[in-house]
Amino acid sequence: MNQLQPDLWQTELYSSGMLNSHAYFLTRPEGNVLFYNTGNNQELDQMDGLGGIRYQLLTHRDEAGTSLSRIRDRFSSTLCCSALEAAAVARHAIADVTFDETSRQLENIDIFHTPGHTDGSVCFGYQSPHGQYYLFTGDTFFQWNEQWSTFVLENAGGSYQAIHSSLQQLRQLTPDLVMSSGFVGKTGLGRFSNRDEWVNAIDPQLALTRQKIEQGA
């Protein structure tokens, strides 16, 4: 794994065709968190050496896979996802905790309900004691050849109206590190030194989704 911050690691690149992905491992005194998913045994060994996994957090159904049960069995971890994604995730493992629309935090991890990519997509935020705010955006907001983008899965309940509202919600934040699960190209990680950089990244997608809505998409 690649250590990004004193409390944050990025897993190795996983590629399936043009789509790439990373998972992220966060160490906390309250218990460590795996964001997204990995089936890499060497990485799981490293996580074990760093204190194991208390929670595995999924932003949406596409992060589910056969490794979910294996991770839970090994670490006695708690699998969490949106209530709207739970049925799709259950093809691989039953979630231990599901977030409904009133869920805003899991301990000191922020939960943002951001439908649009799928109807139950969520994002997660964490204020690190080392000073930076980490935002885990799943596939709600990701990089496509180093340009920030988004993607609507209508067959999974996604819509441009919903994702436009979700992007407006994310725009109010001031993240330092933004980490998607899927991406196209070289990187799925964005670093922002100030709020203007974040706003300038998200505003073009707000304009595009607004245009799609006006066109009746």
Query: 29-38, 52-61, 100-109, 149-158 — which is least confidently predicted?
Result: 149-158
- For residues 71-86, give the mean pLDDT: 97
Mean pLDDT for the stretch of residues 29-55: 96
Q: State the pLDDT confidence band at 20, using cuts at 50, 70 and 90.
A: confident
Cα distance between residue 93 and residue 88, in whole Å: 9
At 44, the amino acid letter reads L
Residue 75 C-beta-side C-alpha neighbours within 13 Å: 27
Is residue 56 scored above 80 in pLDDT? yes
Token digits for 28?
């906390």
User: DSSP letters of 24-70?
Assistant: EEE--TT--EEES----HHHHHHHHHTT--SEEE-SSGGG--THHHH
pLDDT higher than 80, residue 95: yes
User: For residues 42 and 11, is the Cβ–Cβ distance under 8 A?
Assistant: no
Put the strands of the sheet holding 8-10 in their side by side order: 2-5, 8-10, 24-26, 33-35, 55-57, 78-82, 97-99
**Class for the domain spanning 2-214:** alpha beta
Per-residue pLDDT, 217: 64
Parse the chain into domains and list their residue ranges: 2-214
Give residue 16's pLDDT. Answer: 79
Q: What is the pLDDT of residues 119-130, one digit of tens each?
A: 999 999 999 999
The mean pLDDT value of the chain amounts to 93
pLDDT tens-digit map of 160-212: 999 999 999 999 999 999 999 989 888 889 999 999 999 999 999 999 899 88
Q: Is the pLDDT of residue 216 over 80?
A: no
How high is the pLDDT of residue 63? 92
